[in-house]
Chains A and B, each alone.
Chain A
Amino acid sequence: MLFFNNKKNDDMPADQTGKESGCQSGNCSCGKKDNGVQQVMNKPTDRREALKKLTAGFLAGTGFVAASCSPTASDDKKEKTQLDWEEFFKGNYQLMSDDEKQSTVNRLERLYELNAGRKINVTATGPLEDVLYGYAFNISKCQGYMDCVNACVKENNQDRTSQMQYIRIHEHQNGSMDFELADDNYYHEVPAVGHFYIGTQCFHCENPPCVDVCPVKATWKEKDGIVVIDYDWCIGCRYCMAACPYDGRRFNWATPEVPKEEVNNEQHYLGNRLRKKGVMEKCTFCIQRTRNGKNPACVEACPTGARIFGNLLDPKSEIRWVLANKKVFRLKEDLGTEPKFWYFMD
């Protein structure tokens, strides 16, 4: 409907469209750019692209008018309304141009500043060249300390109220690998005598069933093998959750809450940026860290060295050494999902 509405507005003035990508506030980080009009006018566009732009511009304009016509709203509130409006009508991240990615990142940063009074740094770093991430877990070493879980929660801004955790540590009794008999919710001193520990999380499958089933392409596998979610495009149908054989996915059943002072400010659009209620999330191999050459938080936090992470395409990486020299296996291999997460024992 909105789409057709807009067709009538083919001759919409460019300055209105410009509002979408141009900088309104002046105090954000996009100052070096051309102004909005030039950005829009100088870009080669086809008809479809043009219509899309006009739609966005029209909607942004409408939101702006709605907000600015309210005599009671403060300037901050007006700006917030407009940003919210533009955020709501933005497209799927996979289809965004680099400019569009940058402007949504700017909007998110500004919105957080307006809402929380603090600044965050959101990035949209793309996959590095010749990188395919893989993970190995040493069952002999893990003692069930759960330091990885705590580090993960802090790093990735997971909801504290529901105590969401991406990683599950399963306590197995010696003599059995049956997960049905394992306990992933233990509260006692570890390591418990006669037990061993196995951690699971999103395995970043090469053939991820969650990606196939998503009706709106809100989740996909990046070039570096990380399976990510566009939190703003997800509609929350939870089909991916049903499709995941590894319990790797989590849903925000309520508005996630992270105390302001505990928020990790270094964020990635596809990673640990703050989520909203009603969307999926999961382990991203700490995309905000790993794409900057660091290890995921769980690897860094593990006191026993049970967790190994690296580039599968680099023959000199530790993960490749493990795959070449240890007897590795994966879980539920019969499902053909090809996890990039291996287990081994010393």
Chain B
Amino acid sequence: MQQLKIFRSLVFSGVKIATQGNTTYHLWMAFLTFFMLLGAYCFGIQLDQGLSATGMSDYVSWGLYISNFTFLVGVAAAAVMLVLPTYVLKEIDFSKAVLIGEGLAVSALIMCLAFVTVDLGGPIRAWHLIPFVGVFNWPSSMLAWDVIVLNGYLFINITVPLYILMCKFQGKEPNKKFYLPGVLISVFWAVGIHLVTAFLYAGLPSRPHWNNALLGPRFLATAFAAGPSLIIIALAIIDKFTDYKIATNTFRKLALVIVVAAQINLIMLVSEIFKEFYSPTHHSSSAIYLFFGLHGKHALVPYIWTAIGLSVVATIILSIHKLRNNKTWLYVACVMLFVGIWIDKGMGLIIPGFIPGAWGNIHEYSPSWIEIGVTFGIWSMGAFIFTVLAKVVISIETGSLRYQQTK
């Protein structure tokens, strides 16, 4: 009962904190709200017309939504990069960043679930997916696995930080015995969510572009490059706009994680390109279409070269110690890497998996405005959730928000 009362107080004061701020904060939230509403409007149109409102077709049957879903699973998984050293290895450098990282994971996961839901032909029938209520094709379907691991990860990433916040809210020191098991599980779980998501594609022999043992490891490498990149950007903004100061060392260690992951990613990219182009077979058609165009169709060519260009330049910047330790360069490199990997996961992986189609014909894909609107809406929702969570976390961490017994 007591705990419930404290939780209620936390929620109420949290809402209060989240609704107060300076003009910049309000403008930011208004901006996000506008795009959320726009997204909801677009989704309304899509619900009415069906998925024909999107750019997808019988040939390219997954598009922008599933691309973003795949990318965001990686972002969510990357929160573990902060969790592990802080809670388990007693590395205190990250402690200030870790709750922020977990907030990012929660927002990313909610966005993942939203992207999957808007991609469904019958979102109203999504209850068929709930174990024991609907019918769950487990363990056969990787999508069923994904439902379990994503929701499980969401659960862990809500409960562990919530426990810590509740303790800090009361000015108590969190008890390691309670949260360490959760943390340890979440470390393995994070790797699991991204591997399972990779297996979802890699397990389909019908799509040679995905049916590739390197897909899972490469997903992890890109996740651990893109996720911490986003965390660095978020921390930089927090560092600039709030009193919550992040130690330079935190940025440096995060940047180290990113550079290692980005380098491994490039090695794997080179392996893939070698395999596809040294002895091209029928199974290389997707790669040929992606990188150079095929039969006069080349919609994806600019995307993949932009993605590779961004990733390569960012990796070079990060690999040079002098540049990496310069915050301006670091931020630029992080943004480049983040955008590069985002393009790579969608236009570089999901879409070309469908082109050419099963019988070799090429039907190109470009997202419709409705699709783009919904996508913006969901990203805004994620940013909105993250902003609220971060604001509450910061207030508690800095001690400005405490539970008042007398209340």
Hey, which chain B residues are within 8 Å of A170, CB to CB?
359
Q: Could you write out 27 A-B pairs with CB less than 8 Å apart?
A: A168-B359, A170-B359, A179-B359, A180-B360, A212-B141, A214-B137, A215-B129, A215-B136, A215-B144, A216-B134, A233-B125, A234-B121, A235-B122, A235-B123, A237-B116, A237-B119, A237-B120, A238-B62, A239-B141, A242-B201, A242-B354, A252-B50, A253-B52, A253-B56, A255-B50, A277-B51, A277-B121
The proximity string for B residues 290-311 relative to A, scoring 1 for CB distances below 8 Å and 0 otherwise, is 0000000000000000000000
Known: A238-B61, A239-B141. A245 touches B206 (CB 8 A): yes
Tell me which of A233, A237, A245 has the highest count of chain B C-beta atoms within 10 A of its own C-beta: A237
Hey, which chain B residues are within 8 Å of A242, CB to CB?
61-62, 201, 204, 206-207, 353-354
Distance A216 CA – B144 CA, assembled complex (angstroms): 8
Of the candidates B50, B123, B133, the one whose C-beta lies within 8 Å of that of A253 is B50
Distance A253 CA – B56 CA, assembled complex (angstroms): 8
Residue of B nearest to A162 (CB): B52
Hey, which chain A residues are within 8 Å of B128, CB to CB?
92, 216, 218, 233, 235
Known: A3-B133, A253-B56. A235 touches B206 (CB 8 A): no
Interface residues of A in 175-191 (CB under 8 A from B): 178-182, 184-185
Q: Is B267 an interface residue (CB 8 A)?
A: no
The answer to whether A246 touches B358, judged by C-beta atoms less than 8 angstroms apart, is yes
Residue of A nearest to B54 (CB): A253
Residue of B nearest to A255 (CB): B50
Q: Say which size band chain A's interface belongs to.
A: 35 or more
The answer to whether B50 touches A278, judged by C-beta atoms less than 8 angstroms apart, is yes
Hey, which chain A residues are within 8 Å of B52, CB to CB?
162, 253-254
Of the candidates B126, B200, B282, the one whose C-beta lies within 8 Å of that of A235 is B126
B interface residue numbers (CB < 8 A to A): 49-52, 56-58, 61-62, 116, 119-126, 128-129, 133-137, 140-144, 147, 200-201, 203-207, 282, 285, 353-354, 356-361
Known: A212-B141, A244-B358. A278 touches B61 (CB 8 A): no
Q: Is A279 an interface residue (CB 8 A)?
A: yes
Q: Is A145 an interface residue (CB 8 A)?
A: no
Of the candidates A162, A216, A233, A247, the one whose C-beta lies within 8 Å of that of B358 is A247
The answer to whether B129 touches A216, judged by C-beta atoms less than 8 angstroms apart, is yes
Known: A178-B360, A179-B359, A215-B136. A239 touches B143 (CB 8 A): yes
Q: Is A209 an interface residue (CB 8 A)?
A: yes
Q: Is the interface of A mostly helix, strand, loop or mixed?
A: loop
Distance A91 CA – B358 CA, assembled complex (angstroms): 33
Distance A278 CA – B143 CA, assembled complex (angstroms): 18
The answer to whether A238 touches B121, judged by C-beta atoms less than 8 angstroms apart, is yes
Distance A178 CA – B140 CA, assembled complex (angstroms): 33
**Nearest-Cβ distance from residue B208 to partner chain A, whole angstroms:** 10
Distance A239 CA – B62 CA, assembled complex (angstroms): 9
The answer to whether A213 touches B62, judged by C-beta atoms less than 8 angstroms apart, is no
The answer to whether A180 touches B285, judged by C-beta atoms less than 8 angstroms apart, is yes
Residue of B nearest to A276 (CB): B122
Residue of B nearest to A183 (CB): B361
The answer to whether A254 touches B49, judged by C-beta atoms less than 8 angstroms apart, is yes
Q: Is A335 an interface residue (CB 8 A)?
A: yes
Interface residues of A in 196-245 (CB under 8 A from B): 200, 209, 212-218, 233-239, 241-245
Distance A216 CA – B206 CA, assembled complex (angstroms): 21
Distance A247 CA – B356 CA, assembled complex (angstroms): 11
The proximity string for A residues 288-311 relative to B, scoring 1 for CB distances below 8 Å and 0 otherwise, is 000000000000000000000000
**Nearest-Cβ distance from residue A281 to partner chain B, whole angstroms:** 11
The proximity string for A residues 86-107 relative to B, scoring 1 for CB distances below 8 Å and 0 otherwise, is 0010011011000000000000
Q: Is A250 an interface residue (CB 8 A)?
A: yes
The answer to whether B206 touches A215, judged by C-beta atoms less than 8 angstroms apart, is no
**Nearest-Cβ distance from residue A7 to partner chain B, whole angstroms:** 13
Distance A23 CA – B405 CA, assembled complex (angstroms): 61
Q: Is A251 an interface residue (CB 8 A)?
A: yes
Hey, which chain A residues are within 8 Å of B206, CB to CB?
209, 242-245, 335
Hey, which chain B residues are within 8 Å of A91, CB to CB?
135
Of the candidates B51, B120, B141, B359, the one whose C-beta lies within 8 Å of that of A247 is B359
Distance A182 CA – B361 CA, assembled complex (angstroms): 8
Question: 16 more A-B contacts (CB under 8 A) besides A216-B128, A253-B57, A277-B51?
Answer: A3-B133, A168-B359, A212-B141, A213-B203, A215-B129, A216-B134, A217-B137, A233-B128, A235-B121, A236-B125, A241-B58, A241-B61, A242-B353, A245-B358, A254-B52, A279-B121
**Nearest-Cβ distance from residue B298 to partner chain A, whole angstroms:** 16
Hey, which chain B residues are within 8 Å of A182, CB to CB?
359-360
Tell me which of B50, B116, B124 has the highest count of chain A C-beta atoms within 10 A of its own C-beta: B50
